[in-house]
Amino acid sequence: MAAAFPRSSSLVVALQLGIFLLFLSSIAVGDDVSRAAPGNESAACGNDFRLVKIKMWVNGVEKEPIGGLTADFGSLLPAHAEEGHRFPAAFADPLNGCSLSSSNLSDSIALVVRGDCIFTTKAKVAEAGGAAGLIVINDEEGLVQMGCGNDTRLNITIPVITISKSGGDELHKSMSSGVKVELLLYSPDRPILDYSVIFLWLMAVGTIVSASLWSEITGSNQSDEQYDELSPQESAGAADKDDEEKEILHINAKSAIVFVITASTFLLLLYFFMSSWFIWLLIVLFCIGGIEGMHNCIVSLVLSKFRGSEQKKMNLPLLGEVSIFSLAVLIFCVVFAVAWAANRKASYSWIGQDILGICMMITVLQLAQLPNIKVATVLLCCAFVYDIFWVFLSPFIFHDSVMIAVAEGDKSGGESIPMLLRVPRIADPYYGYNMIGFGDILFPGLLVSFAFRFDKANKKGVLNGYFLWLSIGYGVGLLFTYLGLYLMNGYGQPALLYLVPCTLGTCVVLGWIRGELKHLWTYDTDDTRESSEPIARGEEA
Task: List all residues 6 or more positions away from 193 whose beta carbon is below 8 Å from its beta carbon.
Answer: 486
Q: Decide: helix, strand or coil at residue 64.
A: strand
**Contact (CB, 8 A) for 146 and 119:** yes
User: Strands, DSSP E only, in 71-139?
Assistant: 87-91, 109-113, 133-137
Tell me the pairing of strands 320-323 and 181-186. unpaired
Rounded distance between C-alpha atoms, residue 357 and residue 364, angstroms: 10
Ordered strands of the 433-437 beta sheet: 28-29, 433-437, 420-424
Rounded distance between C-alpha atoms, residue 85 and residue 98, angstroms: 26
Beta bridge partners of 220: none
DSSP letters, 169-220, are: HHHHHHHTT---EEEEEE-PPPPSS-THHHHHHHHHHHHHHHHHTHHHHHTG
Q: C-alpha angle 333/335/337, rounded to 5°?
A: 70
Residue among 31, 32, 72, 440 flagged as catalytic: 440
Q: Decide: helix, strand or coil at residue 60.
A: coil
Q: Is 428 a catalytic residue?
A: no
Centre a 10 Å sphere on the Cβ of residue 2 and count the other Cβ atoms it contains: 21
Q: Is 127 exposed, middle or buried (0-12, 13-18, 19+ CB in 10 A)?
A: buried
Task: List all residues 6 or more positions away from 138 whose beta carbon is below 8 Å from its beta carbon.
Answer: 114, 144, 162, 163, 164, 165, 168
From residue 20, how far is each of 375, 383, 384 by CA, in Å?
Answer: 17, 11, 15
Closest CA to 244 of 424, 329, 367: 367
Report the first-to-last Cα separation within the chain, whole angstroms: 32
Residue among 31, 32, 387, 455 flagged as catalytic: 387
Q: Side chain identity at 387, as an amino acid letter?
A: D
If you count them, how many residues does the chain have?
541
Rounded distance between C-alpha atoms, residue 77 and residue 72, angstroms: 12
Rounded distance between C-alpha atoms, residue 488 and residue 499, angstroms: 17
Q: Is 243 a catalytic residue?
A: no
Label residues 45-70 b or e (16+ Cβ within 10 Å = b).
Answer: bebebbbbbbbbbbeeeeeebbbbbb
Residues recognised as catalytic: 387, 440
